[in-house]
Amino acid sequence: MQIPPETKAYIKIGENYFADDNVVVGYMPGREIEDLTTVLGDGFYLRTGTVIYAGSRVGKNLQTGHNVVIREQNNIGDDLSIWNNSVIDYGCHIGSRVRIHNNVYVAQYTTIEDDVFLAPGVIIANDPHPICTLCMKGPTIKKGARIGVNVTL
């Protein structure tokens, strides 16, 4: 596991974890944010290619597949499983016991409540008028929702 020197002081890591060598925790965002504190709870398992940006907080028992990206300013509960080639963009709120399958994109400012399942290929968009930031707000996926293969929201 690699922790960049510029964010090392802001990283808080739990116990009883495993991370492959080619994992980065605390990657510096390309935009300025106020709080670089990065928290990973106990019992995480991070596979090759996972990148977790500085400024996110993740509860216990996170599991990632290969090539997962979790951007900055996310608040994530316990027991998240996020599989290969999936991205959680910045500013999201994700509850506990959420399952995010392969090749899923979660747009900025999305809220995913507890016990949600996102099938392979789900795309969650947040910009009804691309490039216009005035009405950019992610959707809310309610508790217990099951979203099917290749659905775009």
Domain limits at 44?
1-153
Three-state secondary structure call for residue 9: helix
How many domains does the chain contain in total?
1
What pTM, to 2 d.p., does this model score?
A: 0.95
Q: Are strands 11-13 and 38-40 parallel, antiparallel or unpaired?
A: parallel
Give residue-wise pLDDT tens across range 53-88.
Answer: 999 999 999 999 999 999 999 999 999 999 999 999
The DSSP string of 15-80 is SS-EE-TT-EEEEPPSS--S---EEE-TT-EE-TT-EEETT-EE-S--EE-TT-EE-SS-EE-SS-
**CATH number of the domain enclosing 114:** 2.160.10.10
